C-alpha cells in the first residue's frame, strides 16, 4: 500500500473574517458544519478559500452560507462544473436555527461568519449573531485599542 504524502496538517484555522469584528458587535456564537463537494474539500486543504464579506441567509428553515469563495484546483476539478461562489448549506440543529431566525426577524440581528476551521476531519464555520456598528462605535474601538497599547508600553518602560 502506498503511503500518502501530507502537505499541510488538517487541524486549525483555514480562513478568518477579520472585517466582521470591525464592522459588527458580535454576541452569540454558533458552530456549524458545511455541506461540501469533493473538489471543495481538496481546495480547502490547499488553502484556496476566502470568507471575507460572508454572511448567513435562512430560507425555508435551512441556513446557507453566502459570499464564501472556494477557488477550484485545476487537477482536482477537471471533470465537474465548479461554481466557486455557490450557496453552501450549513448543518445546524433545529433549536439553533430557531434561535437564529428569531433573533434575525424580531431583533434585527445579522448572522455573519467569522472563521472556518478543521475539527477532526470536518470543516466547521464559526458564525455569530451580530449588530452593525455605527462609525462612532468603530472610532471608540480603535481609540480603546490604542490606549491599551499605550498603557502596556508605559507599564513596560516603568518596570
Strands, E assignment, 9-106: 12-16, 24-34, 49-50, 55-59, 62-66, 69-70, 88-91
What pLDDT score was predicted for residue 91? 95
What pLDDT score was predicted for residue 80? 75
Total domains present in the chain: 1
User: What CA–CA distance (Å, rounded) separates 12 from 44?
Assistant: 12
The total number of residues written for the chain in this structure:
159
Task: Give every residue of the chain whose pLDDT is below 50, as ranges.
Answer: none
Inter-residue long-range contacts of 3-7, CB under 8 Å, 24+ positions, other chains counted: 7/45, 7/46
Which residues span the domain enclosing 106?
12-133
What pLDDT score was predicted for residue 5? 55
Q: Evaluate whether residue 147 is within a structural domain.
A: no
* Total-model pTM: 0.76
Q: Evaluate whether residue 5 is within a structural domain.
A: no
- CATH number of residue 68's parent domain: 2.40.280.10
Q: Evaluate whether residue 107 is within a structural domain.
A: yes
Q: Evaluate whether residue 144 is within a structural domain.
A: no
Q: Evaluate whether residue 56 is within a structural domain.
A: yes
Q: Evaluate whether residue 19 is within a structural domain.
A: yes
What pLDDT score was predicted for residue 8? 55
- Give tens-digit pLDDT for 87-111: 999 999 999 999 999 999 888 889 9
What pLDDT score was predicted for residue 140? 83
Q: Evaluate whether residue 65 is within a structural domain.
A: yes
Q: Evaluate whether residue 139 is within a structural domain.
A: no
The phi and psi torsions of 140 (rounded to 5 degrees) equal: -60, -40
Amino acid at each position: 500500500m502506498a503511503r500518502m504524502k501530507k502537505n499541510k496538517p488538517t487541524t486549525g484555522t483555514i480562513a478568518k473574517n477579520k472585517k466582521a469584528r470591525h464592522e459588527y458587535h458580535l454576541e452569540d456564537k454558533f458552530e456549524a458544519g458545511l455541506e461540501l463537494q469533493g473538489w471543495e474539500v481538496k481546495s480547502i486543504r490547499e488553502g484556496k478559500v476566502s470568507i471575507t464579506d460572508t454572511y448567513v441567509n435562512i430560507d425555508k428553515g435551512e441556513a446557507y452560507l453566502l459570499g464564501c469563495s472556494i477557488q477550484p484546483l485545476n487537477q482536482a476539478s477537471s471533470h465537474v462544473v465548479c461554481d466557486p461562489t455557490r450557496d453552501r448549506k450549513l448543518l445546524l440543529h433545529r433549536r439553533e436555527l430557531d434561535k437564529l431566525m428569531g433573533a434575525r426577524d424580531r431583533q434585527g440581528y445579522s448572522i455573519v461568519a467569522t472563521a472556518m476551521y478543521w475539527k477532526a476531519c470536518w470543516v466547521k464555520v464559526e458564525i455569530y449573531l451580530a449588530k452593525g456598528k455605527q462609525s462612532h462605535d468603530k472610532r471608540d474601538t480603535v481609540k480603546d485599542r490604542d490606549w491599551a497599547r499605550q498603557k502596556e508600553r508605559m507599564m513596560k518602560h516603568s518596570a
